[in-house]
Amino acid sequence: MYNKFLVEKIIKNALIEDMNYGDTTTDLLIDDESISEGIMIAKEDGIVAGIPVAEMVFKLLDDGIEFYDIKNDGEMAKKGDHIVRIKGSTKNILKGERLALNLMQRMSGIATKARLYADAVKEYNTRIVDTRKTTPGLRILEKYAVRIGGCYNHRFNLSDAVMIKDNHIMAVGGIKKAVEKVRRNISHTTKIEVEVKNLKELEEALEVNADIIMLDNMDIETMKQAVEITDKRAILEASGNITIERLKDIAKIGVDIISVGALTHSVKAMDISFMIIRS
């Protein structure tokens, strides 16, 4: 699912940010013996994501807190639906509720958007993938949410694969030089992706046997030609100015991958609230 140790680090850093010297209000108002029960409620329709992350928030504060899933990650929640139920120390529930909500709201918003994009191309053999346009420090959670929504992940970081983009090409002096130079120094297990802006650059990338070729900001007609020219000699990825309205037209062409930065960089958080129902 995700790396537990990385997620714990994210949560611990966020808890320190939120209460570096404790929770003044809760610590002064709530008795240590107080026990409460609360629920998370969907305030709008959406795909739920981040329930195990929210549970980790509360368990790191107090492993005695009881956490009950009502919905599961990947399920649709309608407005008014209960998502999880929590029971335990009132103090620790109150200390964790905002962080748990912040993470779940963000992740659920991403999953909801990813489901819309995935559904738009379900008739085609094309994968919708995310990008590195993620919130700094939250990438592992946001990319998990993309998968929960039904889309796929591109590389997680700069170490994952070789991606030779326009600025690399300009700096080195051409696609051929860039690919040949990097190929001399990488492991046989590492794939090479090259970004191209036109059909001439596509031909150059094919000549040097790039594994993946990114068609950057091309119109539909040019992408059609690129698919024909490539003839399955490389994986083709469409990228740039991708909107949900264009998805089907691009998928119809026969590209293998469509990368969409909007899955993470401009998503609206899903509205989820928390309410104590008995104490």
Question: Please, which residues have CB within 8 angstroms of residue 22's CB and are 6 or more apart in sequence?
Answer: none
Average pLDDT over residues 171-198: 96
Q: How many CB atoms lie within 10 A of CB 79?
A: 11
**For the chain, how many residues are written?**
279
Please give the Cα distance from 163 to 174 (Å, whole number): 14
Please give the Cα distance from 12 to 20 (Å, whole number): 11
Please give the Cα distance from 107 to 110 (Å, whole number): 5
Q: Model confidence at 278, in pLDDT bands (50, 70, 90)?
A: confident
Kindly name the residue from 43, 98, 191, 246 that is annotated as catalytic.
98
Residue-level pLDDT at 40: 98
Going by the DSSP 8-state scheme, the letter that residue 74 receives in this structure is T
Does 235 map to a domain? yes
Residue-level pLDDT at 15: 97
**Chain centroid to CA 263: how far?**
7
Tell me: pLDDT of 71 over 90: yes
Kindly name the residue from 165, 177, 248, 268 that is annotated as catalytic.
165
Does 129 map to a domain? no
Share of residues in the chain with pLDDT > 90 (%): 97
Encoded tokens for 136: 């700094």
Strands 35-42 and 162-164: unpaired
Please give the Cα distance from 248 to 124 (Å, whole number): 8
Does 135 map to a domain? no
Please state the pTM of the whole predicted model.
0.95
Which residue bears the tokens 């969409």? 260
165 is catalytic: yes
Please give the Cα distance from 142 to 54 (Å, whole number): 14
Q: Write the pLDDT tens digit of every residue in 207-244.
A: 999 999 999 999 999 999 999 999 999 999 999 989 99
Residue-level pLDDT at 241: 87
Does 124 map to a domain? no
Average pLDDT over residues 139-167: 96
Does 146 map to a domain? no
98 is catalytic: yes
Average pLDDT over residues 170-187: 96
Q: Model confidence at 263, in pLDDT bands (50, 70, 90)?
A: very high
Q: For residues 110-138, b (16+ Cβ closer than 10 Å) or e, as one string?
A: bbbbbbbbbebbeebebbbbbbbebeeeb
Cβ contact 213:236 at 8 Å = yes
273 in the same domain as 221? no
Provide the residue type at 180 as one letter: E
Range of the domain at 79: 4-112+268-278
Cβ contact 184:208 at 8 Å = no
Does 140 map to a domain? no
Does 138 map to a domain? no
Which residue bears the tokens 């039904």? 150
Maximum CA extent, the chain: 72
For position 200, which CATH number holds?
Answer: 3.20.20.70
Q: Write the pLDDT tens digit of every residue in 35-70.
A: 999 999 999 999 999 999 999 999 999 999 999 999
Cβ contact 258:250 at 8 Å = yes
195 is catalytic: yes
Helix (H) or strand (E) holding 26: helix 24-29
Annotated binding residues, written as ranges, equal 98, 131-133, 155, 165, 195, 216, 239-241, 260-262
Does 55 map to a domain? yes
Cβ contact 211:237 at 8 Å = no
Tell me: pLDDT of 96 over 60: yes
Tell me: pLDDT of 2 over 80: no
Annotated binding residues for substrate, written as ranges, equal 98, 131-133, 155, 165, 195, 216, 239-241, 260-262
Average pLDDT over residues 269-277: 97
Question: Please, which residues have CB within 8 angstroms of residue 99's CB and are 6 or more apart in sequence?
Answer: 11, 14, 15, 18, 57
Residue-level pLDDT at 26: 97
- Give the chain's domain count: 2
Which residues on neighbouring strands pair with residue 20, listed in sequence order? 22
173 in the same domain as 198? yes
Tell me: pLDDT of 193 over 60: yes
Averaged confidence pLDDT in the chain:
96
Average pLDDT over residues 130-136: 97
Q: Model confidence at 1, in pLDDT bands (50, 70, 90)?
A: low
The radius of gyration of the chain from alpha carbons, rounded to an integer in Å, stands at 23
